[in-house]
Amino acid sequence: MMDDDDLSRLGRTKAPTPSRAARERALSAALEAFDEKISHAPQGTRRGVRLTDKAITLWRSLMSRKLIASPVMAALIALPIAGYSAFYLMQTSPLTQRLDTGGPGRVAAPGDVAKPKAQPTGEARKEVDRSVSIEESEAAPPVAGQPAMAPAPESMSDLGGAATRQAAPNRAMSPLTAQERMIAPPSPDADAFIGQQPNTERLTEFDTNPVKSALENPVSTFSIDVDTASYAFVRRSLKEGMLPQADTVRVEEMVNYFPYDWAGPADRAEPFKSTVTVMPSPWNANTKLMHIAIKGYEVQQAQKPKANLVFLIDVSGSMDAPDKLPLLKSSFRMLVDRLAADDTVSIVTYAGNAGTVLEPTKASDKAKILSAIDNLSPGGSTAGEAGLREAYRLAQSSFVKGGVNRVMLATDGDFNVGQTDDDDLKRLIEEKRESGVFLSVLGFGRGNLNDRMMQEIAQNGNGQAAYIDTLAEAEKALVEEASSTLFPIAKDVKLQVEFNPQQIAEYRLIGYETRALNREDFNDDKVDAGEIGSGHSVTAIYEITPKGSPAQQIDDLRYGQAKTDNAAGIANAGEYAFVKIRYKLPDEDVSKLITTPVTSANEVASFDAASADQRFSVAVAAFGQKLRGTSQVAGYGYDRISEVAAAARGADTFGYRAEFLSLVRFASALDGRR
């Protein structure tokens, strides 16, 4: 028998180190003993979906093959297994799955068939958003015929990567590809996390403008664009830690988001002035940029016409979110404060059916207007077509001849009751546009936004599309830029550039892909185009390749124009290009023409010799192209974009340019391409 002294000496004695084989035998025995106690009975869910059933088997097989020889190796392998286990738990947990054959809590029986659950809309979506119970937040079960268990990864690297990507689908991570980091709607049969709605946003898909031969395609034609929605989309994505989808990046909208001090016209007789500058490209030493800056005439307060505004407000169930109806109400309150006493405001809402909340009311009765806004509440589906028709009726009933007559549509998504086809909506708005009532669109929120519809109806309604994601953005769009938003100085503005193949071998228009027009559309006054408001700044940038530059990508035609060293006899041979702008005054139907020849006199010797505003706009254009994955700027890093923008930041009264610099840093951290 051991006494206290023996026990004391034994306690101070260092235990011998077990051999590797002994450790492995002990661990394997413990795992087997533990595994034997795990029941494989259904226990309230389908057979084979228990997390331990899969994870323990995998762990034991690794141990039996002696893959873990050290604590370091154990840690390296345990981490991806933990990730896979977490992913699998979320995919198969009874908290996020249910068979629709038997109601909540029912144990699935053999032969049950899982039915895909329809995505909620309208009031149903609202209920899903606000749900707190398991039944209200469950996700769709797997489609019948698919295995209950996720397939095992082929390798440990696949295991960890797949787990991380699936468990956090919207989290941008390196070294994942840009495509993997994009925001994308979930697959129809994917399980959703509790409280997470599927992304049903609809985007306009488009390809980046290609390089074109000045000899074969010397003419470029497009509609002016002053929309800014894309920049706000990009900003929100980056601030939420995600690179934006390529199709949300419209480079011209990012460039035109910022105010610039371009030279403007002297009087209203000529509504805008263009300034063309040719400068070296900062991302390619062998190409140049042709920078076209357009500035609209700024209407003075005393000259502003009366405004007849109809607020068309989506109050459907999906608008019940802090960044939707509450933000919308605050935004319109700020706009009302900006209106003159003789301006008129009406309010139409739509949700299930359209209704007039406020008949035409003078802005001097501000309390009545603000009360109507404050009393708005969400509920119902989205009867957008009926709302549009009622809004146009009210605008026509209080029409101001020679004034501003505009419907301002504020929504988060689709018109899912009544006329829902984008082409039908386009035709309706084109018809109403001829009456002199224009349409602008304000988008709110995320997850249900129909960007494609916003672009279509704003372009065809002679208005702008903006995306309001914060109160600061509402102040910018509706207060600081109220004049340019509400008071048009020209409509159907088109720009056409003809390049001289004697001087320019190739060109590429940066942005404006969704605004492209046919060459013959330029002189056709029946073809709709963009609108310019009071004081608007519009910028267009071409990357051009001079004749004989090593940057030329397209081979010369073997049987093309005869080569000659003597340009004598060719008209305007010394010009780089010829810029033409067509526009109509707001109350006229016949267009006017402005032309500008571009010569060496428009050229600056170095990029730094360009103005600060020009250099900053080029930095924004480079950033937009970088986010779209444009090959021409693949070697131009975010650090260089940041350097150019910082050097050209200028006064930055409202802090927009400082915010841009922070977005460049965010994108650099998220993008593995740098």
- Quick check: 118 pLDDT over 50? no
pLDDT at 95: 42
pLDDT at 101: 38
pTM: 0.69
Q: Find the length of the chain.
A: 674
- Quick check: 51 pLDDT over 90? no
| DSSP summary character for residue 124 | H
pLDDT at 495: 97
- Quick check: 448 pLDDT over 70? no
Fold of domain 305-470 = Rossmann fold (3.40.50)
Tell me which of 94-103, 174-183, 507-516, 590-599 is least confident: 174-183
pLDDT at 558: 82
Q: Do 143 and 114 touch, CB atoms closer than 8 A?
A: yes
pLDDT at 203: 77
Secondary structure of 590-652 in the HEC alphabet? Answer: CCEEEEEEECHHHECCCHHHCCHHHHHHHHHHHHHHHHHCCHHHCCCCHHHHHHHHHHCCCCC
**Considering Cα of 621, then 626, then 627, then 629, what sign does the dihedral take?**
positive
Average pLDDT over residues 634-654: 95
Please, what is the Cα angle at 546 between 545 and 551, to 5 degrees?
A: 50
Give the pLDDT band of residue 367 (cuts 50, 70, 90).
very high
Is pLDDT larger for residue 98 or for residue 356?
356
Give the pLDDT band of residue 587 (cuts 50, 70, 90).
confident
- Quick check: 121 pLDDT over 50? no
- The arrangement of strands across the sheet holding 288-296 comes to 212-213, 504-510, 537-546, 288-296, 272-280
Percent of the chain topping pLDDT 90 = 46
One-letter amino acid of 85: S
pLDDT at 428: 80
Average pLDDT over residues 116-134: 40
Percent of the chain topping pLDDT 70 = 66
- Quick check: 433 pLDDT over 80? yes
- In DSSP notation, 206-219 reads -PPPPPEETTT--E
Q: Reduce the DSSP state of residue 285 to 3 states and report it.
A: coil
- Quick check: 205 pLDDT over 70? yes
pLDDT at 22: 73
> Which helix or strand (DSSP H or E) is residue 467 part of?
strand 465-468
- Quick check: 394 pLDDT over 50? yes
Which tens digits make up the pLDDT trace of 552-580? Answer: 999 888 886 645 445 556 788 889 999 99
In angstroms, what CA-CA distances link 286 with 16, 135, 491, 552, 553? Answer: 73, 62, 37, 9, 11
Is pLDDT larger for residue 518 or for residue 82?
518
Which tens digits make up the pLDDT trace of 138-189? Answer: 334 333 333 344 443 333 333 333 333 333 333 333 333 333 333 333 333 3
Give the pLDDT band of residue 602 (cuts 50, 70, 90).
very high
Is pLDDT larger for residue 18 or for residue 564?
18
- What is the overall mean pLDDT for the chain? 77
- Quick check: 393 pLDDT over 70? yes
Average pLDDT over residues 59-86: 51
Please, what is the Cα angle at 646 between 644 and 651, to 5 degrees?
A: 125
- In DSSP notation, 468-496 reads E-SHHHHHIIIIITHHHHH-EEEEEEEEE
Give the pLDDT band of residue 210 (cuts 50, 70, 90).
very high
Give the pLDDT band of residue 339 (cuts 50, 70, 90).
very high
Average pLDDT over residues 486-515: 95
List the chain domain ranges.
27-107+114-181, 212-299+489-555+571-670, 305-470
Instruction: Tell me the CATH class for 212-299+489-555+571-670.
Output: mainly beta
pLDDT at 582: 96
pLDDT at 460: 80
Which tens digits make up the pLDDT trace of 40-50? Answer: 444 443 444 44
